[in-house]
Chains A and B, each alone.
Chain A
């Protein structure tokens, strides 16, 4: 089991670095993907730092709560960019404010000594609903081209699969994370879904790069 965790850990590290590196190499200009780039960096940093903070200073959970709030704000920013409906954009501003307030209240109630299941659960629900909303409206928008030719489709799939897969995991973590078998399951499932998420984010960046390339005839003419 520990070998599996180690292998998954290394895979997760490589998977986490891949979208960041690809974004920097391809110099993607898309504003929405830039926000995803920041989320990917935040996730990478938190995986390294929060573990360290947890083992050294016992402030891992507090740092995790801060990470959750920042991640949610970035996700809201991303959805505001990709969703075109004005009223929905305004709804996200109030959602972000309510989320921050709930996170603060949860922090004061739990004193920051446990997993933030409630804020993460709310985050998961908001992201899942936003993803479904985006998917349904993108099939109406992309009437003449395949929906999966857009990089944002792949980002939304990544977020949908990650937050769907980890919804129950995070919901139960506040109460059961201290249990050793649950903790192993938590690490295993979290790593698997994080790897999936990062692979799909890397696919999104490759699709974005391919969309900006000139058609093959033009490319040959300049060779």
Chain B
């Protein structure tokens, strides 16, 4: 087989044409409306979460009132123990003991 015969064989064929699906898939692509940097979006989300967490935590710390928290605990425990004067004295004693045990761990 020489070059001429090879060329003749080649010319009996042609590369395949694209089917209609190729056109549809190519033109289904949409031009971008705006460039979005995924890393910037992730960084913004992380920053928003950090600020939100810091704000929520700061608010809780700023509004924390240890005396009110103790009084609430006594009221709650009094109700659980029966709600009478004896239950209140017992609740006050329990909360007081608990506060004294936590005192070394409280920040100055």
Same complex? no
- B interface residues (Cβ-Cβ under 8 A, vs A): none
